[in-house]
Amino acid sequence: MGAPRIAILAIAAVAAIAVALLVRGMMTPKAHGPAAEAAASGKPMARVLVAARDLDTGTTLAAADMLWQPWPAEALNTAFITDGAAPAPEAKGAAKVVKAAGDLAAGAGPLEAMVGAVVKEPIMKGEPIVGRKVVRGGEGGFLSVVLQPGMRAVAVQISNDTSAGGFILPGDRVDVLQSREGGGGADTGEGKSFITETLIRNVRVLAIDQTTTPAKDAKSLVGSVATLEVPAGDAEVLVRGKAQGQMILALRSYSDAGGPVGRGGRERDTTVRIFRGADVKEVAVP
């Protein structure tokens, strides 16, 4: 093969590579914004925890709701949550970051530590997640964020024998029952009669003592106080029940969690009248 032909082939190969690189550059979308500009200019970059989607008030954060976003070191705010990696040394001063609430949980990374927190104020997609907009279990204001609109948190005394043996956990649904001495109830044979009634049905357990989230793989939780989420108009039912005597929490099946929430009332037999010609007979039907 002659020298001219080799030169032509070499030039063709170089031209083909140049065209391929040009086409690739045209097809690759260009990033925009401060982060892209800083990266292109070679400025120091950090990684900030931001919302992966729009987060409404009351949203419980999951790992998929958050992501790490490159952020110019010079634009960092001390309220931002970073991954803890220091930017390039040239960024002195502006690059110094104070890691926020996410780093407080020992042994957990900032993102993992924020899982389970509840959003207090709406956070837009791509917006940095800051401590003042979220609250975690055990922190002030947590229950007020977790409560659904129109609901109230009411605490009742419990023990192992009044809370399904301690197998009721935060997040479970329960019925609240009460048995007390009173006229018109079932006679025990000792001259006393008792009334048993369901005060309220299908309410959510917000907390057992100060625990709002059960430990991983927890199967039981022994406590002395249960905080229940009840409709505002039914809160008085539980308050009156506390004054009348001990209450019992009956654990509901997971499949019954979608039932209506509201007052129960005493279960009474229904009286049915049976007409047979001129004869009328009343029969009590449970």
Question: What pLDDT was estimated at residue 86?
Answer: 57
Structure tokens belonging to residue 120 = 């207090």
The DSSP letter of residue 261 is: -
- pTM score of the predicted model: 0.55
Is pLDDT at 199 greater than 70 in this prediction? yes
Tens digits of residue pLDDT in 13-45: 777 787 777 767 665 555 555 555 555 556 788
Instruction: Return the biggest CA–CA distance within the chain.
Output: 126
Query: What are the angstrom distances between the C-alpha of 178 and each of 194, 266, 267?
Result: 10, 9, 12
Q: Which fold has domain 34-142?
A: Type Iii Antifreeze Protein Isoform Hplc 12 (3.90.1210)
Q: How confident is the model at residue 201 (pLDDT cuts 50, 70, 90)?
A: very high
Quick one: pLDDT band at residue 267, thresholds 50, 70, 90?
A: very low
Q: Where are the domains of the chain?
A: 34-142, 149-266
CA separation (Å) from 83 to 9, 18, 46, 103? Answer: 51, 39, 8, 9
The rounded distance, in Å, linking the Cα atoms of 272 and 129 is 63
- Both tokens of 44, joined, read 């120091």
- What number is the average pLDDT over the span 281-286? 62
| DSSP code of residue 123 | B
Q: For the CA atoms of the chain, what is the radius of gyration?
A: 32
Concatenate the DSSP letters of all residues of 19-80 into one string. Answer: HHHHHHHHHSPPP-SHHHHHHHHT--EEEEEEESS-B-TTPBP-GGGEEEEEEEGGG--TTB
Q: Could you tell me where the beta strands, DSSP code E, fall in 62-215?
A: 66-72, 118-119, 134-135, 151-157, 173-187, 193-208
Segment of 7-16, 77-86, 109-118, 141-150 carrying the highest mean pLDDT:
109-118
Q: Rounded CA gap, 140 and 121, in Å?
A: 15
